[in-house]
Chain A
Amino acid sequence: MRFPTELKKIKYELEKHAQNMGLDFFPVVFEVVEFDEMNAIASRGGFPTRYPHWRFGMEYERLSKSYAYGLHKIYEMVINNDPCYAYLLEGNNIVDQKIVIAHVYAHCDFFKNNFWFQKTNRKMMDEMANHASRIWKFIEKYGYEKVENFIDTCLSIENLIDVHSVNFSSRTQVSESDADARIKVDRLRSKDYMESFINPPEFIAGMRKKKEDELAKKKEMRFAPQKDILQFLIENARLQKWEQDILSVIREESYYFAPQGQTKIMNEGWASYWHSKIMTSKALNDAEIIDYADHHSGTLGVRPGSINPYKLGLELFRAIEDRWNKGKFGTEYMECEDYEEKRKWDKKTGLGMEKIFEVRKTHNDITFIDDFLTPEFCLEHKLFVYSYNNDKNVYEISDREFRNIKSQLLLSLTNFGKPVILVDSSNYKNRGELLLTHTFSGAELNAVYAKSTLENIYKIWQKPVNIHTRINDIKVIMTFDGEKHETSTVQ
């Protein structure tokens, strides 16, 4: 555990500033690591110990190369855990470390207080290590390739969880399905020699059939489309115990990481807001101002064609603070039609600070944008919509209309910019086939990837897998039956 005294002093100072300003965080364990360790940790999603998988190696290779070419540098990693773990890059100058430490405290405050993180496992560091040892156990028993192949299959659908589920329990329980329960048909009492007359076999068989049908119907009716496809598969697919266990490991980790995806803009915005506030009002000395400005502007720079979450989040928090300080909210303000008056509006309400703390507690990126992105904000920050021009093979600016910017931004955040997929039926065509539905929201699936994904789901479901979607604006069902792909149009 490396954390030099020089930084320790800075840490105490910044910790005190952060607390005085109202941030509330888990204890933070800092550690200074070399760039190589940093890349290794980052390639495993921030955790030093995880189950073995080649994709971590691939990510590590990518990070190492782009670090070597000077394309990027990871200043800090912070892990949502109690205590929080934060890794700082060795060799950064003191100003950088100061900024990063302040930044980290705000992240920790966010982890601890934001609603969407409430259900995350705060002992994830340990849990990840447990997952690793579980998977190592399977590797010893079933062989490396077999386990790795199954993990690959599961990862293909790791995003198919219900991120808004309130009742997420990390321990997945496997319930006994009703189908296994014996179907009993009532018989009239009879003596042995009278049995075939009092309870004729055809009649009994008919009754059993009827009961079976009823049960199947009941099951079908009880079946509502669900988003947590991983849970569904754990409960219903014919998997072996170890396969179920791996699938639940993947699911659990997926749920752990999901809130970070749901609050990227807010979380980075919040951390940038506070590092800027703490640095400029408390922690900077005169000699450091240039370095600070350089680093800060690097973090907040924007490139055309992409949104910088640090920048967008930070500016939105500042805008909210400003509006609530000046009372620019509520019916009176909204209904005011005089632009000039609106601009100069200042009721001296002074509620800004209170408001942003409230926002960081209850919102996620989608509600954050939905509630607080205003036409004035879009104009001031020059937001635009871009779209793809087929003829020229370029992306071009297509719109600066507030309504469209907002809806596009919301769309790209919905479900992390991934398609929403539901499981619709486990007995499609009455043949036990799986039917998924892609909830169409304007963009089509990449058919190549969709096919490979269907192949992977087939490996788990072991019966034909279908997905209801659209291709070239036509409603279709794509099917993989274990051997070949088929696409059929539906009305």
Chain B
Amino acid sequence: MVLSIEQDLNRFKKIVKNKIRKDLNRYISHSELIGKKGKQLVRIPVNEIDIPDFRYDRNKQKGVGQGEGEIGEPIGVGEPEEGGNGKAGDRPGEHILEVEITLEELASILSEELELPRIVPKSEKGLTAEKAKYTGINKIGPESLKHFKRTYKQALRRHILTGSYDPNNPLIVPIQEDKRYRTFKLKLNPFSQAVIFLMMDISGSIGENEKEIVRLETFWIDTWLRANYKGIKTRYIVHEAIAKEVSRETFFSLSTSGGTLISTAYELCYDIIMREHNPLDWNIYVFHFSDGDNWSREDTSKCIRILSDNLLPISNLVGYGQVESSQSGGRFFDELKEEVISRDNFLLSRINSKEAVLDSLKEFFGKGK
């Protein structure tokens, strides 16, 4: 039987990928994806993938059913109107089909499209992990791991050697010495782990819009780094005039009316690294998002000092994203730009809308750090 369904399947997946690629920004700024993880399936609407034909408008149709029920009793919910609203105009037809895809796949499409290089871990610091692989053979072991073929061969060999083998009655009886068992061998695999620090300004000037942007941006940062490292930890720090570490949930929901001292967050971050994430063992990523309104020039200088002296030397990447809605637009961005620009693991990005997230990701990860 000839079965090459894989070929058709791959073709289908390729078509989906191409469609997604064409319209990537729409998916990146799709807030519903947030909260999904690597192998989880996400349903995303893809344009023009099913084959169109002349068909009826489903929502206007009647049908026949079977069962109990009074007249007027509801039996099912209508589908949301598909694009086009049933109106005929001069727009080309756009029909939509929802396709399931894993978040990992989406991340890899994202990286291909943004031409993001694979991240090179800081250095092969000889960090290794032991892994057991059942590739060895041993003379002792549990019956459940008996290697039948090897055991049989041993027994056959013994029978032939001792002359007890009779080709007309090829009865092979293994004894204990013949038995062979599978056993594991330890292999050392290079191992890399990473920690991401996500820091956000939650002072009064940060509104819901800005938070939504940060949420999207951090989600994709997280997804992209997870696609590159096996063991990954994410730590969340919020700050206004003081900084503290919070859980993921609080990170996105907290908001205060306090002032802003950015240096407090950088200090805390450095502090946590020193205490818990030895830079020799960890790949460290630090991202900070703010609207750029720091309390004083003095504090900014302090920030710059912490960055250049403490954070930058031990981190793979430090990124600062300035989230700018219409009215704000602080000076922090420019001040950082002047002072710390020389470091190649320090990156700045301005994000003024959900649509800008895509470009910003490229700015952060375009160098393969």
- A residues whose Cβ falls under 8 Å from a Cβ of B: 37, 40-41, 43-44, 48-49, 52-58, 60-61, 65, 148, 152, 155-160, 302-308, 311-312, 381-389, 392-400, 405, 408-409, 412, 417-419, 421, 438, 443-456, 467, 471-472, 476, 478, 484-487
> Which chain B residues (205-264) contact chain A, with CB distance < 8 Å?
none
B63 and A386 within 8 A (CB) = yes
A418 and B59 within 8 A (CB) = no
B71 and A383 within 8 A (CB) = no
A307 and B65 within 8 A (CB) = yes
Q: How distant is the Cα of A407 from the Cα of B1 in the complex, in angstroms? A: 45
Sample of 22 A–B contacts (CB below 8 Å): A43-B8, A54-B8, A155-B51, A158-B53, A306-B63, A308-B66, A386-B62, A386-B63, A394-B77, A395-B74, A396-B75, A398-B62, A408-B62, A445-B56, A447-B84, A447-B87, A449-B55, A450-B88, A455-B93, A471-B88, A484-B90, A485-B92
B66 and A304 within 8 A (CB) = yes
Q: Which residue of A lies closest to B100 (CB)?
A: A65
Q: Which residue of B lies closest to A311 (CB)?
A: B66
Q: How distant is the Cα of A45 from the Cα of B73 in the complex, in angstroms? A: 37
B54's partner among A396, A408, A419, A455 (CB-CB below 8 A) is: A419
Q: Which residues of A contact B9 (CB under 8 A)?
A: 57, 60-61
Q: Which residue of B lies closest to A69 (CB)?
A: B41
- Cβ of B63 to closest chain A Cβ, rounded Å: 6
Which interface residue of A54, A455, A484 has the most chain B CB atoms within 10 A? Answer: A54
B136 within 8 A of A: no
B1 and A48 within 8 A (CB) = yes
A387 and B3 within 8 A (CB) = no
B72 within 8 A of A: yes
A-contact 0/1 string along B66-96, CB 8 Å cutoff: 1111111111111000111011111111110
Q: How distant is the Cα of A54 from the Cα of B46 in the complex, in angstroms? A: 15
Q: A385 with B55: in contact, given A395-B76, A396-B75 (CB under 8 Å)?
A: no
B53 and A418 within 8 A (CB) = yes
B69 and A446 within 8 A (CB) = no
The count of residues in chain B whose C-beta lies closer than 8 Å to any C-beta of chain A is 57
Q: Which residue of B lies closest to A451 (CB)?
A: B93
Q: A419 with B56: in contact, given A384-B65, A408-B62 (CB under 8 Å)?
A: yes
A385 and B54 within 8 A (CB) = no
Q: Which residues of A contact B92 (CB under 8 A)?
A: 451-452, 455, 485
B64 and A476 within 8 A (CB) = no
Q: Which residue of A lies closest to B59 (CB)?
A: A388
Q: How distant is the Cα of A393 from the Cα of B75 in the complex, in angstroms? A: 11
- Cβ of A429 to closest chain B Cβ, rounded Å: 19
B187 within 8 A of A: no
B86 and A471 within 8 A (CB) = yes
Interface segment, B11-19, B105-113, B145-153, B157-165?
B11-19
> Which chain B residues (9-63) contact chain A, with CB distance < 8 Å?
9-13, 15, 48-49, 51-63
B7 within 8 A of A: yes
- Cβ of B19 to closest chain A Cβ, rounded Å: 12
Q: A157 with B65: in contact, given A304-B75, A393-B78, A485-B90 (CB under 8 Å)?
A: no
Q: How distant is the Cα of A409 from the Cα of B53 in the complex, in angstroms? A: 22
Q: How distant is the Cα of A477 from the Cα of B246 in the complex, in angstroms? A: 62
Q: How distant is the Cα of A417 from the Cα of B64 in the complex, in angstroms? A: 12
A397 and B72 within 8 A (CB) = yes
Q: Which residues of B contact A302 (CB under 8 A)?
A: 66-67
B65 and A397 within 8 A (CB) = yes
Q: Which residue of B lies closest to A399 (CB)?
A: B71
Supplied contacts A37-B1, A449-B95, 6 more A-B pairs, CB within 8 Å: A53-B11, A57-B9, A304-B67, A388-B61, A388-B62, A453-B53
A446 and B56 within 8 A (CB) = yes
- Cβ of A485 to closest chain B Cβ, rounded Å: 5
- Cβ of B221 to closest chain A Cβ, rounded Å: 29
- Cβ of A393 to closest chain B Cβ, rounded Å: 4
B55's partner among A152, A389, A446 (CB-CB below 8 A) is: A446
B2 within 8 A of A: yes
Q: Which residues of A contact B72 (CB under 8 A)?
A: 396-398
B5 within 8 A of A: yes
Q: Which residues of B contact A41 (CB under 8 A)?
A: 3
B8 and A385 within 8 A (CB) = no
Q: A305 with B71: in contact, given A61-B12, A443-B57, A485-B92 (CB under 8 Å)?
A: no
Q: How distant is the Cα of A238 from the Cα of B212 in the complex, in angstroms? A: 54
> Which chain B residues (96-130) contact chain A, with CB distance < 8 Å?
100
Q: Which residues of A contact B61 (CB under 8 A)?
A: 388, 443
Q: Which residues of A contact B53 (CB under 8 A)?
A: 156-159, 418, 449, 453
A448's partner among B10, B65, B95 (CB-CB below 8 A) is: B95
Q: Which residues of B contact A450 (CB under 8 A)?
A: 52, 54, 88, 93
Q: Which residues of A contact B64 (CB under 8 A)?
A: 307, 383-386, 405, 408-409, 412
Which interface residue of B15, B62, B72, B77 has the most chain A CB atoms within 10 A? Answer: B62
Q: Which residues of B contact A381 (CB under 8 A)?
A: 66
B60's partner among A48, A152, A444, A449 (CB-CB below 8 A) is: A444
B2 and A49 within 8 A (CB) = yes
Q: How distant is the Cα of A471 from the Cα of B89 in the complex, in angstroms? A: 11
B71 and A398 within 8 A (CB) = yes
Q: Which residues of A contact B3 (CB under 8 A)?
A: 37, 40-41, 48
Q: Which residues of A contact B94 (CB under 8 A)?
A: 448, 452
Which interface residue of B53, B75, B76 has the most chain A CB atoms within 10 A? Answer: B53
Q: How distant is the Cα of A418 from the Cα of B3 in the complex, in angstroms? A: 32
Q: Which residues of A contact B1 (CB under 8 A)?
A: 37, 48
- Cβ of A312 to closest chain B Cβ, rounded Å: 8
Q: How distant is the Cα of A449 from the Cα of B57 in the complex, in angstroms? A: 9
Q: Which residue of A lies closest to B91 (CB)?
A: A485
Q: How distant is the Cα of A451 from the Cα of B59 in the complex, in angstroms? A: 18
Q: Which residues of A contact B57 (CB under 8 A)?
A: 443-447
Q: A54 with B67: in contact, given A156-B53, A395-B78 (CB under 8 Å)?
A: no
Q: Which residue of A lies closest to B71 (CB)?
A: A397
Q: A52 with B74: in contact, given A57-B13, A157-B53, A421-B54 (CB under 8 Å)?
A: no
- Cβ of A53 to closest chain B Cβ, rounded Å: 6
Q: A394 with B78: in contact, given A385-B62, A448-B83, A449-B52 (CB under 8 Å)?
A: yes
Q: How distant is the Cα of A301 from the Cα of B346 in the complex, in angstroms? A: 64
Q: How distant is the Cα of A447 from the Cα of B51 in the complex, in angstroms? A: 14
Q: Which residues of B contact A388 (CB under 8 A)?
A: 59-62, 78
A438 and B54 within 8 A (CB) = yes
Q: How distant is the Cα of A383 from the Cα of B59 in the complex, in angstroms? A: 21
Q: How distant is the Cα of A411 from the Cα of B31 in the complex, in angstroms? A: 42
- Cβ of A232 to closest chain B Cβ, rounded Å: 15
Q: How distant is the Cα of A258 from the Cα of B217 in the complex, in angstroms? A: 51
A56 and B5 within 8 A (CB) = yes
